[in-house]
Amino acid sequence: MIRTLPALFALLFATPLLAAPAGQQTLFNFVRPADVVKVATQDASLPQYNAEQTPEGEVLRRITFNPAAEPSLVLSPQSGVWDWSQSSAMSLRIQSAMDWALTLYVKVQSSDGKTLVSRIDLPAGPAQTLLVPLLANSPLSLGMKAGPPMPITVDGQRVMLAGSAGEIDRSQVVSVTLSMIKPAAPQSILLERFGVQDSEPVLKAAYSELVDAYGQSNRARWTEKVSSDEQLKAAAAKEQQQLKGWLAERDKSALDKFGGSTKGPAFEASGFFRTEKRDGRWYLVTPLGHPFYSLGVNTVSPDNSQTYVAGREWMFGALPKAGEPFDKYYGSGDNRGGNGADAGRGFNVGRWYNFYGANLQRTYGQACDPAAEAQPCTAPGFDQARWTGHTLDRLQAWGFNTIGNWSTPHLGDARRVPYTLPLSIIGDYTSISTGIDWWGGMPDPFDPRFAMATERAVAIATRDHRDDPWLIGFFADNELAWAGPGDDAKSRYALAYGTLRMTTDVPAKRAFLKQLRDKYRNEDGLSKAWGIQLAGWELMEDPGFEPPVPNAEHPEIEADFQYFQKTFADAYFKTISDALKWHAPNQLLLGGRYAVSTPEAVASCAQYCDVLSFNMYTLKPQDGYDFAALRALDKPVLISEFNFGSADRGPFWGGVTQLAREEARAPAYATFLKQAMAEPSIVGVHWFQYLDQPVTGRLLDGENGHFGLVGITDVPFQGFVDSVRKSNLAAIQQLAQEAEKAKAATGSQTQ
């Protein structure tokens, strides 16, 4: 019920407001305003009569953000500045006045113009005290992509700890701004106390003992959560019976040993996987000559779920001590690579623990005897052979037919399920920054050392696989930074810009300068074409040279950028293609697993690779790329990564395509696969990934996502797996039906 401000005066003095948390300094109260803080609004309203009592008995004041580009509320001192140098967080008592969550942005600014920004996902429900750390702080600084769910209860009060990015002079704070970005309709929040306080107790409360002995989150409950070793063993025994039934059904299906459909028209059997286009649809073809739709799972491995514990042992409730069971699952590492994936991350070096390995041993026992002298357990002791067989049973029972990238070699070696492999080209060749550099800069394919590194990588990767019919093919590296992080022209042509910023000892820059000199001959020709005044050609050789932005008045700028980027991509893919044809001429080159790309890079990939591959984190493939443009290239397409996650099964991040809850993942998977099947150029989709990531972040970059088929305890998410299986089997059945129709049509034509 809304009460006007005059009607609330008696209530305000008869009913005390909730006490401020210990250590909080209140600067301003929206309900009992004093002339100590300036309050300004832009495209927002703060009516005097709208103080309200909530169902919980609190009295707060309504602020409404109106539809506009960025409606805002600005708080500033009446005079001078705020000195917050002795405080660690800004605090604000806040509540969503809507029946849904709201996204707010809080910007704190100091007199030197520096800013600290926080994004606040404000839930519906009762009020909470929002804390915005005044020093840059995020879950990543604590070692993980996403933090525990907020708000939490501290000393009986709901508290929401935000992340913050940027930097301010805490002794010279001049304003705090609350804003929304382009609300489609008026959105309201309720406010009361504004001030500063110490955030350390809340930080400790939020992150202490996040993880239990099984590696699960202590902050939630869910159906598959494990509380005892006996529960683990019982779940495994129950699943084993289910798998037997599903595998028996699979054995009756019309599939060749590689998983290809035997119902469709016969293709030429080459003895290796290959591609072929027939009647407008692209196919992968098994070594036995049958159509194959690649349904894969990435990162199927027992040893990539470690998480760093060094320096943050307080986040773990039950780490084993030396000499205790499962103490063999410790190790050490160093993931301070200096790439974009490392920026702002803490706790990325030192001792780690592998909860998944320990859980496998709890469930399936050891392959060696810890007490034996002849064969002691010198390494973590889960039964690798048993895990491999059980995992392959799962994949086949669930309707998958491909072991995707980053998976353990043991699975492919079993010769039960076709597999893919990466070509990771590592060397001392020059790299070029495009501004994103998530996994590092772009390799310079004009550098002779790149060709040498490629030759070495391909020789090693193909040594034991060149004649293996179970190998579908090799991916050319992964998610290279072909473009920049934005949507503007400088991001689109970031490779050209990044190259021209280099020194002339970089082979790519020499190649670009040669291209321009061959075309324009001298600085006068280039100046006219680009609309600049280049006094001398040698100025382009300077490492700080910044070319103009492409524009309609000077179309040659864009044409030159495009030509260089195509030449660059041609050199890259041709080098890899030539090496693979030499070392493994019968194996497919499956493209570059694009996360970001340019039309030039994709066209070059189509020219030199057998398949185009994209990592697409979208609701359907058609949202990830223009398939009309891909069809013009006339190449098969593999979706080498996709997933859907949520934040209600332990790990706190739901991925790029996060959904509201676990139950939404299965319909999203079904829709994505259905849309992929509807696109005749797509020959398969690969789910990322087999396992949930650790609650406290994986070693590589701190990702802690719930998008696995299986949890950290090795227990499948049964509802999701059941649905995925049905979708996979339906896709295989659809492919068989389409093949049968094509076969019948071909037969009638020959008659």
pLDDT value, residue 746: 63
Please check the confidence at residue 378 and state whether its pLDDT lies above 70. Answer: no
Straight-line distance from the first to the last Cα atom of the chain, in angstroms, rounded to the nearest whole number: 80
Q: What is the pTM of this model?
A: 0.92
The enclosing H or E element of 355 equals helix 355-364
pLDDT value, residue 334: 96
- For domain 5-207, the question of CATH label 2.60.120.430 is answered with yes
Residues recorded for the chain? 751
- Which pLDDT band, with edges at 50, 70 and 90, does 10 fall under? very low
The beta strands (E) that lie in 298-434 are given as 307-308, 330-334, 349-353, 402-403, 419-423, 431-432
pLDDT value, residue 749: 57
- Which pLDDT band, with edges at 50, 70 and 90, does 375 fall under? very low
For residue 165, which amino acid is it?
A
- Which pLDDT band, with edges at 50, 70 and 90, does 739 fall under? confident
CA dist 169 and 167 (Å) reads: 7
- Which pLDDT band, with edges at 50, 70 and 90, does 367 fall under? low
Give the Cβ contact number of residue 250 at 10 Å.
16
Please check the confidence at residue 419 and state whether its pLDDT lies above 50. Answer: yes
CA dist 657 and 651 (Å) reads: 15
pLDDT, tens only, 675-709: 999 999 999 999 999 999 999 999 999 999 999 99
Average pLDDT over residues 386-398: 97
For residue 195, which amino acid is it?
G
Please check the confidence at residue 580 and state whether its pLDDT lies above 90. Answer: yes
- Which pLDDT band, with edges at 50, 70 and 90, does 365 fall under? confident
The enclosing H or E element of 55 equals none
- The mean pLDDT of the chain is 92
- Which pLDDT band, with edges at 50, 70 and 90, does 93 fall under? very high
Give the Cβ contact number of residue 734 at 10 Å.
15
- Which pLDDT band, with edges at 50, 70 and 90, does 736 fall under? confident
Average pLDDT over residues 300-304: 94
Is the model more confident about 24 or about 601?
601
pLDDT value, residue 340: 82
pLDDT value, residue 50: 67
Asked if residue 320 has a cis previous peptide bond (ω within 30° of 0), the answer is no
The residues that bridge with 274 in the sheet, in sequence order, are: 285
CA 663 to each of CA 242, 647, 666, 668, 718: distance values in angstroms, whole numbers, following the listed order = 21, 11, 7, 10, 11
Beta strands 637-642; 682-687: pairing state: parallel
pLDDT value, residue 9: 30
Rg for the chain, CA atoms, rounded: 29
pLDDT value, residue 416: 97
Q: Which residue has the tokens 């194959």?
A: 292
Which of 92, 112, 103, 85 lies closest to 176 in space, CA to CA? 92
pLDDT value, residue 368: 53
Q: Where along the chain do its domains lie?
A: 5-207
pLDDT value, residue 595: 96
pLDDT value, residue 265: 72
pLDDT value, residue 32: 87
